[in-house]
Amino acid sequence: MVSTPLAIASGCQYLPESGADRSPNQFLMPLTAKVNDRDHLEIGGCDVADLVQQFGSPLYVLDEETLRTACRQYRDAFKRYYPGESQVLYASKAWNCLAVCAIVASEGLGIDVVSGGELYTALKAGVDPTRLYLHGNNKSLEELQLAIESGCTIVVDNWLELQTLADWEPSDSPIRIMLRLTPGIECHTHEYIRTGHLDSKFGFDPNQVDDILKRVSQQAGLEFVGLHAHIGSQIFELQPHQDLGSVMVQWLRKAAEYHLKIQELNIGGGLGIRYTESDDPPSIDEWVKVVCDSVAAACQSENIPLPKLLSEPGRSLIGSACITAYRVGGQKTVPGIRTYISVDGGMSDNPRPITYQSIYRALVANRMSAPIVSQATIAGKHCESGDILIKDAALPETRSGDILVIMSTGAYNYSMSSNYNRLPRPAAVLVNAGEANIILQRETYADLIQHDRLPERLK
Ligand code: LLP
């Protein structure tokens, strides 16, 4: 995608190009996005302005076709490039809710969960527990209990957890565990979302590989399934994942020295997506090929059988499948400095700009071909000066009541949303072939106080 000069560009510049091999993570908008004859943005066959009219704003609009396409591209690419068995897991921290879990599971993906809440949701969505993997650097006993009872695999993160599981009341079937190791691989991404470098809170230190494998080999109640590593998120380089494959295969060889049967190797997620025209992530296909080639080649040179290869992408599966639609409110121009355009959401539905200084793109969904004429800063409605969704966004003339859309909001937006300032969380609709179904009900004021308790003496 090329950026068009300000004076002639319009919201249409962000529309995805057509073509069969479109990797959703390389586009700012869902694959079904187009402009209809009312000059409105349409996603999944639904007019976004009509959706806002019907379901209110802010509104997350999730395109089923884009999500399913990304699932299939991952799944098919692993089949194409990996000579052994493979399983793609959806890292549901990106967006965990019943409908999303059900969709990815129906595409044959398993799910990575990182809390009892995510696990509970996936189970309630009907996901096969043998395809669920529980992560976390400080799992509670209740979370471990739920994982063990439901039969999902536990990705053990540290010594305490290993001991806790080794001491667990024996049951008919052994507890399936994987070990998470810190690979010591650096990658270029925001420091908060880097996890593979040595100074990380996650996983066992690689210097302890021998000790940990030895300990695991002595635990009869635990079924050692394999090894896991994840190096970080929103990564555009392929080299770190290529390196990761060979590092992990070295560990597999070590596991064999302790007579541990290796079934699975999980190389994590991390493929980035396009948030702006200058972002240039590799396609899903390219990423999968690098990972598969690297693991297969390392296994061949180490002369060890191919493990089942697991991966757990989150952002690149769902990030570009969703947009957030807001209603424009008032505007304020500070002469010689900037114009602020306020919208009816903000850091509570998208905390990424204030947390990671993430940059997004916006358009006006009810005047798609209007030329971009100015820059304006899109401000959220929270009582916090830093609640700015986009600084100096390129926009057409924008009026109160317009539908402003921010793109690529599928990953880590709803899942990191909050009720800051007691704003009810927005609704989410799933769109497909002209149909729109609510998948997350808009929260009400009553929802906001449902867990509040007023002690008698305060009444
Ligand atoms: N596996 C593990 C163990 C992870 O920690 C993560 C992400 C993933 C898989 C999925 O990574 P992905 O494919 O989505 O890059 N809230 C941050 C992102 C945090 C990522 C945490 N871990 C953000 O909004 O950018």
Confidence (pLDDT) at 20: 66
Mean pLDDT along residues 256-269: 94
Predicted local distance difference test score (pLDDT) of residue 287? 98
Span 419-429, average pLDDT: 98
Q: Which atom of ligand 1 is nearest to the CA of 355?
A: 24
Is the residue at 126 inside a domain?
A: yes
pLDDT > 90? residue 32: yes
291 C-alpha vs ligand 1 centroid, how far in Å?
Answer: 17
pLDDT in tens, 123-160: 999 999 999 999 999 999 999 999 999 999 999 999 99
Instruction: Tokens for 235, please give them.
Output: 């990564």
Determine the pLDDT at residue 198.
72
Shared domain check, 305 and 406 = no
Residues 46 and 131 in one domain: no
- If one residue of 73, 92, 93 were mutated to test the ligand 1 pocket, choosing by the most ligand atoms within 8 A of its CB, it would be 93
CB-ligand 1 contact for 118 (6 Å cutoff):
no
DSSP letter for 66, please: H
Which atom of ligand 1 approaches the CA of 234 most closely?
15
pLDDT-derived band at 188, boundaries 50, 70, 90: low
As a whole number of angstroms, the distance between CA 19 and CA 45 comes to: 18
Crossing angle between the packed helical segments 98-106 and 64-81, to the nearest 10 degrees: 40
Looking at the structure, do residues 272 and 383 belong to the same domain, yes or no?
A: no
Specify whether 178 is located in the same domain as 239. Answer: yes
Q: Which residue has the higher pLDDT, 171 or 58?
A: 58
Same domain, 17 and 39: yes
The model's pLDDT over 192-210, given as tens digits with 9 standing for 90+, comes to: 555 556 778 899 998 999 9
Task: Say if 1 falls within a structural domain.
Answer: no
According to DSSP, residue 40 is labeled -
Q: What is the pLDDT of residue 199?
A: 78
- Per-residue pLDDT reduced to its tens digit, 355-412: 999 999 999 999 999 999 989 999 999 999 999 999 999 999 999 999 999 999 999 9
The verdict on 239 and 378 lying in the same domain is no
Average pLDDT over residues 27-33: 97
Q: Would residue 110 be called left, alpha or beta, if left means φ above 0 and alpha means ψ between -120 and 50 degrees?
A: beta
Question: Does 37 map to a domain?
Answer: yes
The verdict on 108 and 222 lying in the same domain is: yes
Q: State which residues form the domain around 80.
A: 65-318
How many angstroms separate the alpha carbon of residue 415 from the centre of ligand 1? 11
Beta carbon of 136 within 6 Å of any ligand 1 atom: no
What per-residue confidence (pLDDT) applies to 360? 98
Both 18 and 102 in a single domain? no
CA atoms within 13 A on the CB side of 206: 18
Mean pLDDT computed over 158-174? 93
CB 269 near ligand 1, within 6 Å = yes
Q: Assess whether the C-beta atom of 114 lies below 6 angstroms from ligand 1.
A: no
Residues 127 and 55 in one domain: no
Under a CB-based contact definition with an 8 Å cutoff, are residues 66 and 28 in contact?
A: no
Number of domains the chain is built from? 2
270 Cβ inside 6 Å of ligand 1: yes
- 187 is an active site residue: no
- Distance from C-alpha of 41 to C-alpha of 37, rounded to nearest angstrom: 10
Residue 452 included in any domain: no
Asked if the model's pLDDT at residue 6 lies above 50, the reply is no
pLDDT at 124: 98
* CATH number (domain holding residue 364): 2.40.37.10
Residue 421, domain member (yes or no): yes
Q: What is the mean pLDDT of residues 317-325?
A: 98
CATH of the domain at 280: 3.20.20.10
Q: Which residues contact 355 (CB under 8 A, 6 or more apart)?
A: 192, 416
196 close to ligand 1 (CB < 6 Angstrom): no
pLDDT more than 90, % of the chain: 89
Domain-located, residue 459? no
Q: Which residues of 425-451 are buried (b: 16+ CB within 10 A; e: fewer)?
A: bbbbbbbbeeebeebbebbeeeeeeee
Q: Is the pLDDT of residue 5 over 60?
A: no
End-to-end CA distance of the chain: 60
Q: What local confidence, expressed as pLDDT, does residue 52 receive?
A: 98
Residue 447 CA from chain centroid, whole number = 26
Measured in angstroms, how far is the CA atom of residue 377 from the centroid of ligand 1?
28
319 lines ligand 1 (CB under 6 A): no
188 shares a domain with 310: yes
| Together in a domain, 116 and 232 | yes
Q: Does any ligand 1 atom lie closer than 6 A to the CB of residue 354?
A: no
If you measure from the C-alpha of residue 203 to the centroid of ligand 1, how many angstroms do you get, rounded to a whole number? 15
Q: How far does the centroid of ligand 1 lie from the alpha carbon of residue 99, in Å?
A: 20
Is 274 among the domain residues? Answer: yes
Cβ 172 vs Cβ 154: under 8 Å: no
The stretch 426-436 carries a mean pLDDT of 98
Domain boundary (296, 318, 340) is at: 318
1 pLDDT more than 60: no
Check whether residue 138 and residue 223 sit in a common domain. Answer: yes
pLDDT above 70 covers what percent of the chain? 95
pLDDT digits (tens, 9 = 90+) for 85-125: 999 999 999 999 999 999 999 999 999 999 999 999 999 99
Q: How far is CA 445 from CA 343, 425, 450, in A?
A: 19, 10, 9
* Amino acid in the structure at residue 74: Y
DSSP 166-202: HTSPP-SSPEEEEEEB------SS-GGGB-SSSS-SS
pLDDT value of position 126: 98
Nearest residue by C-alpha to atom 19 in ligand 1 = 193
Ramachandran class of 254: left when φ > 0, alpha when ψ lies in -120 to 50, beta otherwise: alpha
Is residue 454 a part of any domain in this protein?
Answer: no
Per-chain mean pLDDT for the chain: 94
Higher pLDDT, 154 or 185: 154
Q: What is the pLDDT of residues 230-246, one digit of tens each?
A: 999 999 999 999 999 99
Residues 375 and 162: their CA atoms lie apart, in Å, by 54
Q: Are 291 and 312 within 8 A, CB to CB?
A: no
pLDDT given for residue 19 in this prediction: 72
**Residue 48 to residue 364: CA distance in whole angstroms:** 10
> In what order do the strands lie in the sheet containing 46-47?
34-35, 41-43, 46-47
Residue nearest to atom 16 of ligand 1 (CA): 412
Ligand 1 in reach of 182 Cβ (< 6 A): no
Q: How far is the CA of 25 from the centre of ligand 1 (A)?
A: 15
Q: Which atom of ligand 1 is nearest to the CA of 313?
A: 13
